[in-house]
């Protein structure tokens, strides 16, 4: 192999199998894609040890991708239940799965996931560290943190979330600027606690080159986590969030010098009117690196419906430059999502991603909608079901309320505009009250 990472290959003018695969999926000239990867505008997370991977690109000019969070926890530790969710997520064509396992058979689950998944796999190694070492957080050493990262990389994880931007300067900014919800990032709060308890710098910031060594060795994409993402709309776009984003921009350039691919994680909870400007800020401060947003959730009042609040924010964010959406389920803020919650979260996020792709004029995005519109005009119900983002639900709704006339539905009956326009435009009479066809 004449290159170490996808970015290294791209800078050397080498077209990798992964680049060729992504270019074909996106309908993009492979040379254009190579240039974007070389500049860091597109990342292709593809660990050398993930043999089942069907690679995807994340970034400028590409379809908006979605990620599904899964994994075992202390309160919900069934390996089998989570694996059923994995299978469903893959059937629903999620491009990425993040294994957020924090208890029990984490290594076994991760390895099984990587072995079976064509989707890219991400993890947050700090979640795994406490259980892996069976030690209190404050007692974990710097070496042990890095050993867990390397273990995940060796297993074949394609991208890892590391909260390296939460350094002492960022913490001081946080302390000087009061928030309603403090630090809501789980990984960020764990790193904050470790730093405070040990009166130490963030090891992933202080020893960043050591982290880059691991990434370069395995072609592990670094997803720079947003420890200071807002956990309420009150806290968005504050000094703490922006300070961390500035640090992440500096870390991005250092990673690119080492040919390590970068994705930047972003907010969080955020009012609608702030979303577009936040996308501009990220792209500016982080030099056009791909942006991965968690929502944004646009209002804090809807537990049980946060797949909707997040889809609203996600669509606006992606239409204004975000490249990668983390799904949110109806169970957000309440419990670990079950299978049905996961499905609803995936559908809502896919809708947001597709709506944004239309706004961004992504090649071929409108074709799907135009096919659906044609099927509706033709009253071709089976084709409509086949084209639906959730065919199962569409078929079930139709079956649950059968119309008198097949060329209509129970909403409009023979007043159906499509039915009547088709008749009139073909020179026929319409028969709303008469019983003849």
Residue 226 labeled ligand binder = yes
Residue 185 labeled ligand binder = yes
Residue 228 labeled ligand binder = yes
Burial of 83 (0-12, 13-18, 19+ CB in 10 A): middle
Beta strands in 262-378 (DSSP E): 262-266, 291-294, 324-326
Residue 412 labeled ligand binder = yes
Residue 333 labeled ligand binder = yes
Residue 164 labeled ligand binder = no
Residue 69 labeled ligand binder = yes
**Which DSSP string do the residues of 261-295 spell out, in sequence order?**
-EEEEE--B--HHHHHHHHHHHHHHTTT--EEEE-
Distances (CA, A) of 315 to 6, 60, 223, 318, 319: 29, 16, 21, 5, 6
CA distance 286 to 249: 4
Residue 409 labeled ligand binder = yes
Nearest to 54 by CA among 85, 24, 12, 86: 24
CA distance 100 to 391: 29
* Cβ count near 145 (within 10 Å): 23
Residue 292 labeled ligand binder = yes
Residue 186 labeled ligand binder = yes
Which amino acids are annotated as binding site for substrate, given as ranges?
Answer: 69, 98, 127, 163, 185-187, 226-229, 265, 292
Which amino acids are annotated as binding site, given as ranges?
Answer: 69, 98, 127, 163, 185-187, 226-229, 265, 269, 292, 333, 409, 412, 416
Which amino acids are annotated as binding site for Zn(2+), given as ranges?
Answer: 269, 333
Which amino acids are annotated as binding site for [4Fe-4S] cluster, given as ranges?
Answer: 409, 412, 416
């Amino acid at each position: 192999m004449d290159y170490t990472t996808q970015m290294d290959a791209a800078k050397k003018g080498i077209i990798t199998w992964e680049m060729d695969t992504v270019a074909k999926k996106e309908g993009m000239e492979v040379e254009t894609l190579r240039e974007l990867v070389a500049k860091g505008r597109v990342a292709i997370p593809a660990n050398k040890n993930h043999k089942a991977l069907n690679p995807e690109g994340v970034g400028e000019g590409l379809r908006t991708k979605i990620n599904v969070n899964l994994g075992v926890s202390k309160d919900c530790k069934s390996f089998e239940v989570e694996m059923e969710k994995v299978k469903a997520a893959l059937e629903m064509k999620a491009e990425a799965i993040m294994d957020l396992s924090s208890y029990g058979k984490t290594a076994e689950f991760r390895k099984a996931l990587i072995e079976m998944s064509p989707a890219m796999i991400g993890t947050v190694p700090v979640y795994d560290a406490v259980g892996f070492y069976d030690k209190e957080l404050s007692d974990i050493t710097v070496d042990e943190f890095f050993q867990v990262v390397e273990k995940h990389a060796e297993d074949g994880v394609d991208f890892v979330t590391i909260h390296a931007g939460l350094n002492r300067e960022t913490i001081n900014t946080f302390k000087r600027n009061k928030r309603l919800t403090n630090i809501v990032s789980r990984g960020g709060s764990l790193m904050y606690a470790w730093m405070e308890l040990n009166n130490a710098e963030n090891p992933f910031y202080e020893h960043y080159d050591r982290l880059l060594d691991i990434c370069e060795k395995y072609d592990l994409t670094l997803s720079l986590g947003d420890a200071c993402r807002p956990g309420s709309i009150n806290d968005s776009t504050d000094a703490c969030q922006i300070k961390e984003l500035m640090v992440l921009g500096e870390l991005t350039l250092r990673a690119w010098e080492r040919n390590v691919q970068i994705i930047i994680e972003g907010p969080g909870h955020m009012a609608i009117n702030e979303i577009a400007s936040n996308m501009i800020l990220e792209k500016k401060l982080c030099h056009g690196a791909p942006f991965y947003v968690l929502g944004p959730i646009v209002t804090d009042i809807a537990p049980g419906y946060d797949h909707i609040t997040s889809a609203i924010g996600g669509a606006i964010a992606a239409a204004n430059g975000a490249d990668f959406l983390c799904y949110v389920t109806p169970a957000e803020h309440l419990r670990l999502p079950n299978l049905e919650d996961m499905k609803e979260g995936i559908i809502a996020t896919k809708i947001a991603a597709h709506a944004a792709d239309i706004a961004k004029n992504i090649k071929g995005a409108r074709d799907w909608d135009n096919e659906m519109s044609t099927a509706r005009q033709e009253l071709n119900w089976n084709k409509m079901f086949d084209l639906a983002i959730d065919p199962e639900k569409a078929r079930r709704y139709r079956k649950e309320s059968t119309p008198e006339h097949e060329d209509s539905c129970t909403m409009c009956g023979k007043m159906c505009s499509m039915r009547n326009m088709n008749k009139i435009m073909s020179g026929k009479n319409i028969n709303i009250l008469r019983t003849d066809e």
